[in-house]
Structure 1
């Protein structure tokens, strides 16, 4: 296998602000794994956004991945799993980079077999299934579109400029959060997901939950800091709305604990290390009676198309990352602006192709 790293900088369509800070561009690395099958070179792709508050640097991460290229070059066959391969050659690799490699391998494996990845997981073996791989029978889970924190007038402007069937509203940086939702509600009847990004107290969350429920909010995501377990228990017991874990659910080991404090989890594929562990997290969450969401960072269509393979297994989805940038270097999964449902390309694997 050949490993190639493609660095990009993704300008944001609008400044994107959450409780952690604001940014106008997102560096990212797209990882390509390729092999030769029947004299044809086939490539699979994954992505690692270089998110600054996770301590990631494009140049350093490119060096780390490039140093792994000789180990991949020695592999004549595809590894059984990226996890087992990395345990041999890079056991301490950052989860974001593990994710890019895991998705690239899963994409490559499906492309070699000529089927979409989500259908390979379901045992489909042909691109020519008369029911389009059973697509109509899969669960249809719409994605939301995110309105980042800003002055309320700017948030209203962004919402009006981008009609969408479901919105995620970023809150948690001030005392006017309820006023923001009230202002936005005047301009749409679409359901709202609210993400407080650890910016509230337990008392605030419980009080706001009743008001927000009346305003058409579906759930509240990660209202408290991750170490406030006492407050989270109070919120879990007394909130009028379901509470979804985000920062509190990073990896597989977090799922069981979250079942005691949350009604659902938001799985970030980059944080847990790829689609392989993400699918195990989904299975465990179901065993624990949790709702399941998958979310994105700010990623191109490569990252989003990988995460979108999970859609049939989800209750909620936040996969708008590629909608928030202005120079997407790839084509892949898109979303219907009326329904929010995924539109999958007629290509194998995760369905992406690089265009820049």
Structure 2
């Protein structure tokens, strides 16, 4: 099979600030594999969770290095391909791009969308949240109004049912509380509101915030503590009135057994896990341990979010909104319907170029 690698830059409608910094644009990688006249598409995007960042340049170099090794293989030879990716220590974002492209190829060969190939039901897809980054109360309120079409910027969406609020403000707990109250005041009709601290709290702040957030009707807290502080999650798990989910603390299915006694759920992202194959493995592992599953994203375009949307009938919570916040998304795939990101009936991913 032949592999082509191409970069593209996307710009956010609203710059996103979390506890680790602000992102306004990213340069992603579009991967195409071709075999027997069928082309499968995948995507990688740069991301960092506090360890060595996976940059666009590093991801591209790793894909260029493995491409000649894959030429003699068929997309159906997955064990051999997986061994090659392991032997070459391919970064998880590069693995995700190849894995998604291989799934897209298989779906197109079978002439079936992936959700149907897996036997899933699209009517089981729950609403996705849209994200409000760390900001002042006034800016947070304006951002909500913009998403809802009530502000100065026309919102691209109709039917938003869930919000995710980024907390962990460096100015402290009072700043977090003021921002959240402003968001609630701006959208009193939205009852599904979750919080993601991105490791911005210590255990004592997280515990105090959990009781306050429970009084505010928040549904769950995501990644309250930094990756590496998993031992302290046990205290939150037993004392917090709200469910605790982890993101940065859980990369693959191998991490899940170490977390089952201290979290209620995990956030799965394709770039972090290494693709749809591992994401599906994580879903089944988490559910075997009685954990809830959330599917999330980084700076993914419609290509990668559509890929994960095919697995969304298996998820309890969704945060697949990064493509909805792009000014120049080059792809079209899953559609936003009544607050849900729903894959279409086209073979494979069902992704095409935007006209």
Alignment TM-score > 0.5, same fold:
yes
1:96 and 2:93 matched: yes
- Runs of at least 4 residues of structure 1 off by over 6 A? none
Task: Give the distance between the partners of 1:28 and 1:153, measured in 2 at CA.
Answer: 32
Note if contact 1:106-1:349 (Cα within 8 Å) is conserved in structure 2.
Answer: yes
Paired residue secondary structure (2:124): coil
Note if contact 2:270-2:308 (Cα within 8 Å) is conserved in structure 1.
Answer: yes
Task: Give the distance between the partners of 2:7 and 2:48, measured in 1 at CA.
Answer: 15
Corresponding residue for 1:148? 133
User: What root-mean-square deviation, in Å, do the aligned CA atoms of Structure 1 and Structure 2 show?
Assistant: 1.8
Task: Give the distance between the partners of 2:45 and 2:214, measured in 1 at CA.
Answer: 33
> 1:341 offset after TM fit, Å?
1.5
Cα distance, 1:262–1:90 mapped onto 2, change above 3 Å? closer
> 1:68 offset after TM fit, Å?
2.5
Paired residue secondary structure (1:227): coil
Corresponding residue for 1:241? 242
Note if contact 1:200-1:224 (Cα within 8 Å) is conserved in structure 2.
Answer: yes
Corresponding residue for 1:255? 256
> 1:289 offset after TM fit, Å?
0.6
Corresponding residue for 2:59? 61
| CA offset digits 1:154-181 (Å, max 9, x no partner) | 1111111112210000010232111111
Corresponding residue for 1:227? 228
Task: Give the distance between the partners of 1:229 and 1:299, measured in 2 at CA.
Answer: 27
Corresponding residue for 2:12? 12
The residue correspondences of 1:205-354 to structure 2 (distance < 5 A) are: 205-336=206-337, 339-354=338-353
Paired residue secondary structure (2:194): strand
After TM superposition, the structure 1 stretch with the greater mean CA deviation from structure 2, 230-239 or 83-92, is: 83-92
After TM superposition, the structure 1 stretch with the greater mean CA deviation from structure 2, 49-58 or 111-120, is: 49-58
The residue correspondences of 1:35-184 to structure 2 (distance < 5 A) are: 35-36=35-36, 41-51=37-47, 54-75=52-73, 77-81=74-78, 84-88=80-84, 91=87, 92-122=89-119, 135=121, 138-163=123-148, 164-173=160-169, 174-175=171-172, 176-184=175-183
Pairs aligned (count)? 336
Cα distance, 1:225–1:57 mapped onto 2, change above 3 Å? closer
Note if contact 1:156-1:184 (Cα within 8 Å) is conserved in structure 2.
Answer: yes
Corresponding residue for 2:157? none
Task: Give the distance between the partners of 1:52 and 1:7, measured in 2 at CA.
Answer: 18
Task: Give the distance between the partners of 1:61 and 1:297, measured in 2 at CA.
Answer: 15
Paired residue secondary structure (1:186): helix
Corresponding residue for 1:23? 23
Task: Give the distance between the partners of 1:218 and 1:110, measured in 2 at CA.
Answer: 36
TM-score, normalised via structure 1 length? 0.90
Note if contact 2:62-2:91 (Cα within 8 Å) is conserved in structure 1.
Answer: no
Note if contact 2:126-2:313 (Cα within 8 Å) is conserved in structure 1.
Answer: yes
| CA offset digits 1:115-155 (Å, max 9, x no partner) | 00111122xxxxxxxxxxx746x412111101111222111
Task: Give the distance between the partners of 1:149 and 1:320, measured in 2 at CA.
Answer: 16
> 1:183 offset after TM fit, Å?
1.3
Paired residue secondary structure (2:219): strand
Note if contact 2:125-2:342 (Cα within 8 Å) is conserved in structure 1.
Answer: no
Note if contact 2:10-2:28 (Cα within 8 Å) is conserved in structure 1.
Answer: yes
Paired residue secondary structure (2:280): helix
Task: Give the distance between the partners of 1:261 and 1:21, measured in 2 at CA.
Answer: 27
Task: Give the distance between the partners of 1:69 and 1:253, measured in 2 at CA.
Answer: 27
- Name structure 2 gaps, 5 residues minimum: 149-159
Task: Give the distance between the partners of 1:84 and 1:95, measured in 2 at CA.
Answer: 17
Task: Give the distance between the partners of 1:90 and 1:233, measured in 2 at CA.
Answer: 33
